[in-house]
Amino acid sequence: MSLLFTNARLIDPENQTDTIGSLLVENGIITAVGETLTDPKDAEVIDCGGKCLAPGIVDIGVKVCEPGERHKESYKTAGQAAAAGGITTMVTRPDTAPTIDNPETLEFVTRRANEAAPVNVVPMAALTKGRAGGEMTEFGFLMDAGAVAFTDCDSVVTDNKVFSRALTYARSLGALVIGHPQDPGLSKGAAATSGKFASLRGLPAVSPMAERMGLDRDIALIEMTGVKYHADQITTARALPALERAKANGFDITAGTSIHHLTLNELDVADYRTFFKVKPPLRSEDDRLAIVAAVKSGLIDIISSMHTPQDEESKRLPFEEAASGAVALETLLPAAMRLVHAEQLTLPELFRALALNPAKRLGLPSGRLAEGAPADLVLFDADAPLVLDRFKLQSKSKNTPFDGQKMQGKVLATYVAGEAVYRRK
């Protein structure tokens, strides 16, 4: 099966180019990219009409609630939502019930994902058993079962001896550890970022310094152990100088941020809407702008959805009691397009953070428009307007902060290994 995409606006994050051209796919692999390509026999020709063709998004940090909470999200619904959002690879979190901390549970979810999800699914496993911060998991067996990274998600390992041993073990196996930079003592119970706004609203708050302190601790242990480390969410300006120094010192460290921290700020929770309650809490506008600038400069490497489904019952509570998190698989791209339309990022810069960098960090061959790369692609209209209706989302849970908002950017089709897994009707 061959596909020839013609008249496409090719968004190439590797070469940082945005050009009109053609792309040929044969047997699920990109075999040619150029201004004009010869139409091979029996190829299906897709005229893109000048719309954008980019590498499919590689989304690190997706929560799928299997096993344990299928009423919130299943691999089938998450996969459908990802396909509708231009995400071709979901990198899933282990914070399920039970925790994905042994090869048997990992093999179960991998089998479920392969059966039900139309997109690629690569799992992460827990760093410690039960994410309790006491005893580290069997990294070697979990890697053999397919784990691409190890993380306790938002459960920070507080015992530095346990954490350093886990990092040393990960280093010996070449494993990637994903940390959540946050001082758990300071941030416990917080629902907002400290400042005038949180005080006026009477919300329990945490200082941005909690993130800086957590990152400083992790960087010291990275220096001590030499581990490969990725900070899942950097959301404050205070943390950026420490990250910059760590990279300048040659440590094997990368950092991500969430689409919500790039496009929303603390003022969005003004009427106590719990869909805006995420972890870490939304930050000041100055912090948001600093994080956008860090993505543009490459200091922050990766943008993720941090997709966290919650049912209506866990959100329909007073703000400080409500569960944290928001669904974002389908809203990731249109929300990120706000940064492009505001001329804060170019499309190649955006897809460097959405596709190329996460694929490189995990050692995946995707995330590129290059000969030999898998044909994991998203075709989208960068300018098409939409008003988001949360009840039309494919996810089982509907907890999106973008409900009712005017957005730009519609996914027209998503391809995994050259096969269409989504086409807009």
Per-residue model confidence as pLDDT tens for the chain (425 residues): 799 999 999 999 999 999 999 999 999 999 999 988 877 778 899 999 999 999 999 999 999 998 889 999 999 999 999 999 999 999 999 999 999 999 999 999 999 999 999 999 999 999 999 999 999 999 999 999 999 999 999 999 999 999 999 999 999 999 999 999 999 999 999 999 999 888 988 999 999 999 999 999 999 999 999 999 999 999 999 999 999 999 999 999 999 999 999 999 999 988 899 999 999 999 999 999 999 999 999 999 999 999 999 999 999 999 999 999 999 999 999 999 999 999 999 999 999 999 999 999 999 999 999 999 999 999 999 999 999 999 999 999 999 999 999 999 999 999 999 999 999 98
What's residue 293's pLDDT?
Answer: 98
Which domain does 227 fall in, by range?
A: 61-362
Q: How many CB atoms lie within 10 A of CB 317?
A: 12
What's residue 324's pLDDT?
Answer: 94
CATH number where 28 lies: 2.30.40.10
End-of-domain residue from the set 321, 338, 362:
362
Output Rg (C-alpha) for the chain, integer angstroms: 21
* Structural domain contains residue 368: no
Provide CB contacts within 8 A for 312, sequence distance 6+: 398, 399
Asked whether residue 67 falls in the same domain as residue 206, the answer is yes
Number of domains in the chain: 2
End-of-domain residue from the set 317, 332, 362:
362
CA distance 150 to 357: 18
Asked whether residue 325 falls in the same domain as residue 384, the answer is no
Lookup result for tokens 């995330």: 367
What's residue 415's pLDDT?
Answer: 98
Asked whether residue 394 falls in the same domain as residue 305, the answer is no
Output the six-digit token pair for 338.
């706000």
* Structural domain contains residue 140: yes
Output the six-digit token pair for 120.
């690629």
Asked whether residue 389 falls in the same domain as residue 267, the answer is no
Reduced 3-state DSSP string for 342-408? CCCCCHHHHHHHHHHHHHHHHCCCCCCCCCCCECCEEEEEEEEEEECCHHHCCCCCCCCCCCCCEEE
What's the Cα-to-Cα distance from 186 to each of 183, 213, 216, 239, 283, rounded to whole Å?
6, 10, 15, 15, 16
What's residue 215's pLDDT?
Answer: 98
The DSSP bridge partners found for residue 11 are: 18
The H or E element that residue 45 is part of is strand 44-47
Structural contact between residues 376 and 87, judged by C-beta atoms closer than 8 angstroms: no
Asked whether residue 357 falls in the same domain as residue 266, the answer is yes
DSSP H helical segments within 39-146, as ranges? 75-84, 103-116, 139-144
This prediction's pTM:
0.94
Asked whether residue 96 falls in the same domain as residue 11, the answer is no
* Structural domain contains residue 367: no
Asked whether residue 351 falls in the same domain as residue 412, the answer is no
What's the Cα-to-Cα distance from 225 to each of 183, 293, 318, rounded to whole Å?
20, 30, 43
Lookup result for tokens 């249109």: 334
Asked whether residue 126 falls in the same domain as residue 249, the answer is yes
Asked whether residue 281 falls in the same domain as residue 415, the answer is no
* Structural domain contains residue 261: yes
CA distance 401 to 335: 11
What's residue 270's pLDDT?
Answer: 82
Single-letter code of the amino acid located at 214: G
CATH number where 160 lies: 3.20.20.140
Asked whether residue 135 falls in the same domain as residue 197, the answer is yes
* Structural domain contains residue 118: yes
